[in-house]
Amino acid sequence: MKLKNKVTVITGAGSGMGKAMAILFAQEGAKVVVADINQAAIDAVVSEIKQNGGEATGVKVNVTNKEEIKTMTEAATRTYGSLDVLVNNAGIMDNFTPVGDVSDELWERVIGINLTGPLMACREAINIMLQQDKGGIIINNASVGGLFGTRGGAAYVASKHGLVGLTKNIASTYGREGGKIRANAIAPGGVNTNIQSTITEPHPLGLAAIGDAGSAKVAEPIEIAQVALFLASDDSSFVNGDVIKADGGWTAR
């Protein structure tokens, strides 16, 4: 088991990539804190993990709420005694809205969930991990939108670029000179998850821009979860501050 007894917090773990990560990590021996805003989804994932012999507990959390983030990380230490891996997976899209049409409300919501939430979670996790002899691992689920100008609207692309920068800053600050914390990001392309449900009224200009990037193979959530497993395990012990693209070759063309 690659994650035996590693205490792992995963946000957005009630569905999609987060759910796939939670189930896979539990199969690999992790003790999983299933964090999501949807209580019914949390209960379903925790139940599935336990039915398959794994260990999990659930925490309902709005990742834009500082106190709820603190409660989430404390659930790991209170229940299992440590926090070894944090996966910031929760995120939303922005209907491909370009700068000229971005409202303050849309900008604040997307940045809040996609960037400020992960910052707050990383802050709590780092201050726990620094007190542990074994340190810890942070995985931020970014996007190819965090590497290029399209693949999303202005708020989404900015939030994911910011998440990549946050990841590299953590890695270079807390991982230097044999530091105890590693931080890496995943940059998925299209994935078959319910984040697509947040695309309600795609902006025609933004849609045209992403169309210029060409069609992309759509991954299943487990394919991204396997990348996260690598980053959470000792197999990636010398990988720090990196961004692993998992887009089926979409951006290689």
Backbone torsions φ then ψ of 105, nearest 5 degrees = -65, -45
- 156 as an active site residue: the answer is yes
Q: Which of 25, 156, 174, 250 is catalytic?
A: 156
- Nearest-5° Cα angle at 18, 106 to 180: 100
Q: Which residues pair with 182 in a beta bridge?
A: 137
Q: How far are the Cα atoms of 191, 193, 215 from residue 222, in angstroms, in the given order?
A: 10, 11, 21
Q: How far are the Cα atoms of 63, 96, 145 from residue 203, in angstroms, in the given order?
A: 26, 6, 16
Question: Can you give the C-alpha Rg of the chain in angstroms?
Answer: 17
Closest CA to 145 of 100, 96, 183: 96
Residue with tokens 């000792």: 234
d(CA 115, CA 131): 25
Could you tell me the strand order of the sheet in which 31-36 lies?
55-60, 31-36, 7-11, 85-88, 136-141, 181-188, 243-246
Contact at 8 Å (CB) between 230 and 217? no
Backbone torsions φ then ψ of 86, nearest 5 degrees = -115, 125
Q: Indicate which residues carry an active-site annotation.
A: 156
